[in-house]
Copies of this chain bind each other. A is one copy, B any other.
Amino acid sequence: LQPPGTGSRGRSGDLKPEEIVRLEEDRVVLLDQRRLPDEEVELECRSAAEVAEAIRAMAVRGAPAIGIAAAYGYALAAERGEDLDEAAAVLLASRPTAVNLAWAIAELRKADDPRACAREIHLQEIDRCRRMAEHAAGLVEPGARPLTHCNTGGLATGGYGTALGAIRAAFAQSLVEHVLVTETRPLLQGGRLTAWELDRVGIPSSVIADSAAGSFMGRGEVTHVFTGADRIAANGDTANKIGTYALAVLAAHHEIPFYIVAPSSTVDLATPTGAEIPIEERDPSEVTPRFPARNPAFDVTPAALIGAIVTEAGVHRAPYEESLSRPTPAGAAR
């Protein structure tokens, strides 16, 4: 990872990995995503429990970034001499849906050098992002007007991004004209974070209300839908931010390709189908503090609605039971 203050990768304005999350001598430091874009404030976590609380409260969110933050939190706990069973348990309990968290903790528990292992996980996730983005960009034709949901950029992954990385790679190849960003209620990860990231790197975009996505599809203003994933079951069923399922149904209705872009750390072959993925219900007051509300944070999109799942290994097509279980999918270059 580059030290703070040195040149960013490529375009000015691109977020540096260490700006998003890093392990210092005695603390995990992360950009508090709850306060973006209005304020760029760092949050310091001095124990595994504080990292877990930052994840629970969504100061850091996005499946890969959660895994990275948890890895740094576990490494911090190891160096501080915390009870590591307890540290692992508190980190694992912070959010239930994203599988990257469990994956990262399992990697750390095997490691001789937790700090080096956590940094390696961070670097590998960024490398995976760049590789999956190149694969996914191959699915895009010139003049593309993709729609994306939630935030799957550098903030969500520790650098570069999954679905947003794919859009960035396609834009760099002059394939993308404009990006529609669903604001992603209740916490507005699209309207706050994705719009901010696209603005920083100069990609033309417009934020829309989540409810408007279908209408823009009906008007012919959406050529592709790209989203990330919080957990992908062995059969391809994919849990992702609430609203993803509706976008997949709407995309199918309009015959618009719908693609998932996520690292292999998000694929959970131990979960056979989406029915077995736990769906987090968050505090209803995030929706409205005044009236009764329901606030599922995720939904499950059935594999049948997914045109392709793109990982760093390539472009996985149905039947996903087969393509996800192979190290390199057939026809990766489409």
- Which residues in A have some Cβ–Cβ distance to B below 8 Å? 37, 149, 180, 182-186, 191-192, 195-196, 199, 204-216, 218, 242-243, 245-246, 249-250, 252-253, 284, 287-288, 290-296, 299
Residues of chain B within 8 A (CB-CB) of A292 are 195, 204-207
Please report whether the interface of chain A is mostly helix, strand, loop or mixed according to DSSP. mixed
This chain's copy number in the assembly: 2
Q: Which residue of B lies closest to A180 (CB)?
A: B294
User: How far apart are the CA atoms of A149 and B212 in the complex, in Å?
Assistant: 13
Q: Which residue of B lies closest to A199 (CB)?
A: B291
User: How far apart are the CA atoms of A185 and B299 in the complex, in Å?
Assistant: 20
Q: Which residue of B lies closest to A196 (CB)?
A: B291
User: How far apart are the CA atoms of A113 and B12 in the complex, in Å?
Assistant: 67
> Are A299 and B196 neighbours in the complex by a CB distance under 8 Å?
no
Q: Which of B191, B253, B290, B291 contacts A291, CB < 8 Å?
A: B191
Residues of chain B within 8 A (CB-CB) of A206 are 284, 291-294
> Are A291 and B242 neighbours in the complex by a CB distance under 8 Å?
no
> Are B249 and A209 neighbours in the complex by a CB distance under 8 Å?
no
Residues of chain B within 8 A (CB-CB) of A149 are 211
Residues of chain B within 8 A (CB-CB) of A252 are 253
> Are A287 and B191 neighbours in the complex by a CB distance under 8 Å?
yes
Q: Which residue of B lies closest to A38 (CB)?
A: B290
Contacts A205-B291, A206-B292, A293-B206 known; A211 to B182 CB distance under 8 Å? Answer: yes
> Are B209 and A295 neighbours in the complex by a CB distance under 8 Å?
yes
Residues of chain B within 8 A (CB-CB) of A253 are 249, 252-253
Residues of chain B within 8 A (CB-CB) of A205 are 291-292
> Are A288 and B195 neighbours in the complex by a CB distance under 8 Å?
yes
Residues of chain B within 8 A (CB-CB) of A213 are 246
Residues of chain B within 8 A (CB-CB) of A184 are 211
Q: Which residue of B lies closest to A205 (CB)?
A: B292
Q: Which residue of B lies closest to A215 (CB)?
A: B299
Residues of chain B within 8 A (CB-CB) of A216 are 294
Q: Which of B191, B196, B243, B288 contacts A183, CB < 8 Å?
A: B288
> Can you name 16 A-B residue pairings with CB atoms under 8 Å?
A149-B211, A185-B209, A192-B288, A205-B292, A206-B284, A207-B294, A208-B287, A208-B295, A210-B211, A213-B246, A214-B299, A215-B243, A215-B299, A246-B246, A252-B253, A253-B253
Contacts A287-B183, A287-B191 known; A214 to B246 CB distance under 8 Å? Answer: yes
